[in-house]
């Protein structure tokens, strides 16, 4: 298992560590993660969660409460237990207390259905206690007691392996994963879905059917969410302006329109 850290050592918010899965879990897991917010400085840390197609298992390691506000409705939710989150069809503003420590798993698009045995469309926007789906009491005790991120990642890997052996995906799942891996290639083109389907030797209709079966959304929506997230981070990191065409946008107004459709707010809001 390879590990790497992406928050810099002098980041005032804390640290985020990530580890790649090994073996057959690479089919369903993007990465294992652990976040630790600093006990010093500001009382709270704010972060926006953008619309996405991923599933998330989140283990609360010190039982501190945090809040998420769904931006379209401005509806608040408070979490203190370990949670299972489905793909996010809207954006959220998350507020974390200082010293919060969490660990978890980011699953590939569609993989959550394999573990919950629920239809993909029922998982969108889901926020449920993990123990509703899994017996995690022993695992959570082990995660809290573990002395390092590497040890916690190994525990989570073993736990998922024990639940994955009886849930082998079919060929359509792998085609969906292959489509996601090619989003960046076809993202700049106006007829991206048609070209993507052609590249996979599928019709757009078949590709859409496979996405709806495994992800619960169309490839058009998934591509829109993917390109917006990439453009959003590039937009806020660049001092030279965004190269809109790289992300499949005609201009800033096109980017602005996607922001409104996906989040209910303008780019400037974030």
Count of positions (residues) in the chain: 270
Residue 244 has pLDDT above 60, yes or no: yes
pLDDT at position 1:
47
* Alpha-carbon separation of residue 68 from 90, 122, 229, 266 (angstroms): 12, 20, 19, 19
The answer to whether residues 84 and 114 belong to one domain is yes
Q: What is the CATH number of the domain that holds 20?
A: 2.60.120.10
Q: For 159-217, how does the pLDDT look when each residue is reduced to its tens digit (9 = 90+)?
A: 999 988 666 789 999 999 999 999 999 998 889 999 999 999 999 999 999 999 999 99
- The full DSSP string for the chain is --EEE-S-TT-TTEEEEEE---GGGGGTEEEEEEEEE-SSS-SEEEEEEPP-S-EEEEEESS---EEEEETTTTEEEEE-S-EEE---SS-EEEEEETT-EEEEEEEPTTHHHHHH---GGGSTT-EEEGGGTS--HHHHHHHHH-SSHHHHHHHHHHHHHHHHTT----HHHHHHHHHHHTHHHHTTSTTHHHHHHHHTT--HHHHHHHHHHHTSS-HHHHHHHHHHHHHHHHHHH-SS---GGGGT-SSHHHHHHHHHHHHSS-GGG-
Q: Which of 127, 147, 164 is the last residue of a domain?
A: 164
* Alpha-carbon separation of residue 22 from 174, 234, 253 (angstroms): 17, 30, 42
The answer to whether residues 119 and 209 belong to one domain is no
Q: What is the CATH number of the domain that holds 246?
A: 1.10.10.60
Query: Does the model's pTM come out above 0.85?
Result: yes
More confident residue, 24 or 219: 219
For 118, the domain range is 3-164
User: Which residues have CB under 8 Å from 8's CB, separation 6+?
Assistant: none
The answer to whether residues 250 and 175 belong to one domain is yes
Q: Cα–Cα distance between 80 and 159 in angstroms, integer?
A: 21
Q: For 56-115, how does the pLDDT look when each residue is reduced to its tens digit (9 = 90+)?
A: 999 999 989 999 999 878 889 999 999 999 999 999 989 999 899 999 999 999 999 999
pLDDT at position 151:
96
The least confident of 127-141, 224-238, 239-253 is 239-253
Q: For 18-63, how does the pLDDT look when each residue is reduced to its tens digit (9 = 90+)?
A: 999 988 899 999 999 999 988 776 678 888 899 999 999 999 999 8
The answer to whether residues 42 and 88 belong to one domain is yes
The answer to whether residues 145 and 196 belong to one domain is no
Phi first, then psi, for residue 149 (nearest 5°) are -65, -40
Judge whether 103 and 34 are in contact, CB under 8 Å. Answer: yes
Q: Which of 142, 164, 186 is the last residue of a domain?
A: 164
pLDDT at position 10:
47
Q: Cα–Cα distance between 247 and 225 in angstroms, integer?
A: 11
The answer to whether residues 158 and 176 belong to one domain is no
Judge whether 104 and 56 are in contact, CB under 8 Å. Answer: yes
Judge whether 168 and 226 are in contact, CB under 8 Å. Answer: no
Q: Cα–Cα distance between 178 and 108 in angstroms, integer?
A: 11
CA end-to-end distance (rounded Å), the chain: 35
Q: Cα–Cα distance between 101 and 114 in angstroms, integer?
A: 27
The answer to whether residues 158 and 110 belong to one domain is yes
Phi first, then psi, for residue 127 (nearest 5°) are -140, 100
The answer to whether residues 154 and 35 belong to one domain is yes
The least confident of 7-21, 50-64, 118-132 is 7-21
Residue 139 has pLDDT above 80, yes or no: yes
Residue 148 has pLDDT above 80, yes or no: yes
Residue 6 has pLDDT above 50, yes or no: no
The answer to whether residues 95 and 58 belong to one domain is yes
* Alpha-carbon separation of residue 95 from 70, 87, 150, 186 (angstroms): 12, 19, 27, 35
């Amino acid at each position: 298992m390879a590990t790497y850290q992406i928050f810099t050592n002098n980041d005032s918010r804390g640290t985020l560590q990530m580890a790649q899965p090994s073996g057959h879990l690479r089919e369903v897991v993007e990465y294992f993660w652990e976040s630790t917010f600093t006990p010093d400085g500001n009382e709270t840390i704010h972060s926006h969660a953008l619309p996405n197609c991923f599933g998330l298992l989140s283990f609360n390691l010190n039982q501190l409460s945090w809040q998420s506000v769904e931006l379209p409705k401005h509806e608040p939710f408070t979490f203190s237990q370990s949670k299972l989150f489905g793909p996010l069809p809207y954006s959220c503003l998350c507020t974390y207390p200082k010293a919060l420590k969490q660990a978890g798993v980011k699953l590939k698009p569609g993989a959550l259905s394999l573990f919950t045995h629920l239809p993909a469309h029922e998982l969108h926007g889901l926020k449920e206690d993990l123990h509703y789906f899994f017996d995690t009491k022993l695992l959570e005790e082990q995660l809290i007691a573990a002395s390092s991120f590497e040890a916690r990642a190994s525990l989570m890997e073993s736990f998922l392996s024990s639940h994955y052996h009886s849930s082998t995906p079919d060929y359509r799942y792998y085609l969906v994963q292959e489509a996601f891996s090619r989003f960046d290639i076809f993202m700049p083109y106006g007829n991206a879905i048609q070209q993507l389907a052609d590249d996979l030797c599928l019709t757009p209709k078949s590709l859409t059917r496979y996405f709806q079966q495994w992800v619960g959304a169309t490839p058009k929506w998934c591509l829109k969410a993917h390109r917006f997230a990439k453009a959003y981070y590039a937009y806020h990191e660049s001092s030279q302006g965004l190269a809109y065409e790289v992300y499949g946008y005609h201009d800033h107004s096109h980017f602005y329109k996607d922001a409104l459709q996906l989040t209910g707010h303008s780019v400037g809001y974030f």
